[in-house]
Each structure stands twice: as structure tokens, then as C-alpha cells.
């Protein structure tokens, strides 16, 4: 199973559902007879209505973040995992570098992941190293620590998908070399088995400047389970091109 997950960030209004409608029509045609899932993390303002519009479609609707406290609280402007589930979400992105830069530390991320899983939401957990850490060859150490400091051994890994997004790649057009990305994902999966049990199989996506041009390069990386797609997910044509070129 491969995953193509769009992260709209601060993009989208009600009529933007036309983008997802075109993508859904493409999926229905199923040209490639391949097994893949399409998911979109939309702004809070669109979750409830989009979840209803695409309830019986091939597209799953989720959120881009949640608050670390659950259910209801007096925190102005915040949305809990409990509320997301009620709004129709099937998943939530947690740990994106944007949110880490705004103060999401390991304790906060742990609470977010725990609450999301407790509310039966799937979690897309983002990890990534910055340019300086990459240059010092600390990538694997950084990624492993970002996971170990948040995940507990009793977490259900079937509810978690890890998204490896090198911070130095996001929005820059730069992507890791194919063999470099392959080695990173293989080593990370091996490390996760050592730390969390041989029977646990974490899925790992790649995110960072993914587009229709480079999608075909990633198709050779069998250890990469899919993609978290930013800018290209705001266009039905660009998103469809990623799927088409990946299976070309």
C-alpha cells in the first residue's frame, strides 16, 4: 500500500473542493490497478463539510494539527483530537517542522499523539533534520531521537505513519539523492524494529519538494511507503501527475 497525502497548510476555501473532486474522479478510473490511498489534510474551517462531501469517496480527510489537551478546555482558538474526530477527521498530522518551530516540544508531541490515537485518529508523525545536522552527518541520530522521545512502546504502530521531511528540502526544490534517501529509510526502519519490536512494521513516507517531475525517481525506492505532498497538492493536475508518474 502506497500513500499520497496532501498537506494544504493555509490554503483552501469552500469552493476548493473542486480540486479534490477532480482527484477523486481520477482515482475512480483506477488506470493503474495499483493499491494506494489518497488523503488530504485541510484547514480546520473545511474539515466538517469536506468530510461529508467525500464520505463515500476514495479520499480521506484529516487535519494538520491538534492541541495537546483533549476534549474541551479554556484554551482560546485551540482544537482537540476529540473535536477533530467529531468533525469527521480520519487522521491528523503531528510534529510538522512548522509546528515544532512554533514550540511543539517532545512532551507536547507525546500528548498530541496519545490523544489522537485514543480518539481513533490515525497519526502522520513528521520528523526531519535541518541543513546543519545533515552536514554533520547526524540525520539518523536526529530522526531516531525525534521518534524515541515521543513514541511509547505500547502505541499501536498501525495507527501511525511516519513522514520523513528533511527541513532543508521543504519548499526549496532540493531533494535527497535516491541512494541517500533509500539508506536513511532502511536504517530507520531497522532501528525502529530494534527499539519497538521485530513484529512492528512502521510505514515511512517521504516529504519535501515532491512533484510530478521527480515522482518517477521515487518509484524505485521500495522502502518508501508514499509521500507527504505540500505545494503540489494545491493543484489537481500537479497532484494527479505525481500519481501518474510514480506508476508510469
The x, y and z cell numbers of residue 159, run together, are 495507527
163 HSE (CA, 13 A, CB side): 28
Contact between 157 and 200 (Cβ < 8 Å) = yes
Question: Is the four-CA dihedral 31, 37, 200, 221 of positive or negative sign?
Answer: positive
Active site residue 165: yes
Is 96 among the residues known to form the active site?
yes
Residue 240 to residues 14, 46, 57, 223, Cα–Cα distance (Å): 21, 21, 16, 22
Neighbours of 96 (CB within 10 A): 26
Name the active-site residue from 26, 96, 111, 129: 96
**Axis-axis angle for helices 17-29, 236-246 (nearest 10):** 30
Write out the catalytic residue numbers.
96, 165
Amino acid at each position: 500500500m502506497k500513500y499520497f497525502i496532501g498537506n494544504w497548510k493555509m490554503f483552501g476555501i469552500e469552493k476548493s473542493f473542486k480540486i479534490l473532486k477532480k482527484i477523486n474522479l481520477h482515482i475512480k478510473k483506477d488506470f493503474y490497478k495499483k493499491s494506494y490511498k489518497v488523503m488530504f489534510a485541510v484547514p480546520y474551517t473545511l474539515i466538517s463539510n469536506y468530510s461529508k462531501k467525500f464520505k463515500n469517496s476514495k479520499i480521506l480527510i484529516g487535519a494538520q494539527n491538534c492541541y495537546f489537551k483533549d476534549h474541551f478546555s479554556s484554551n482560546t482558538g485551540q482544537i482537540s483530537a476529540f473535536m477533530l474526530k467529531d468533525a469527521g477527521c480520519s487522521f491528523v498530522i503531528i510534529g510538522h517542522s512548522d509546528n515544532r518551530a512554533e514550540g511543539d516540544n517532545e512532551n507536547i508531541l507525546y500528548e498530541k499523539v496519545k490523544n489522537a490515537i485514543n480518539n481513533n485518529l490515525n497519526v502522520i508523525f513528521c520528523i526531519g533534520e535541518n541543513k546543519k545536522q545533515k552536514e554533520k552527518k547526524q540525520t539518523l541520530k536526529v530522526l531516531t531521537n525525534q521518534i524515541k522521545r515521543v513514541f511509547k512502546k505500547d502505541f499501536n504502530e498501525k495507527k501511525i505513519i511516519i513522514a520523513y521531511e528533511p527541513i532543508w528540502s521543504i519548499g526549496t526544490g532540493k531533494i535527497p539523492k535516491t541512494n541517500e534517501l533509500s539508506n536513511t529509510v532502511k536504517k530507520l526502519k531497522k532501528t525502529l524494529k530494534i527499539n519497538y519490536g521485530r513484529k512492528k512494521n512502521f510505514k515511512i513516507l517521504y516529504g519535501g519538494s515532491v512533484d510530478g517531475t521527480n515522482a518517477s525517481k521515487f518509484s524505485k525506492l521500495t522502502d518508501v511507503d508514499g509521500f507527504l505532498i505540500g505545494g503540489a497538492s494545491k493543484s489537481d493536475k500537479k497532484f494527479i501527475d505525481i500519481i501518474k508518474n510514480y506508476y508510469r
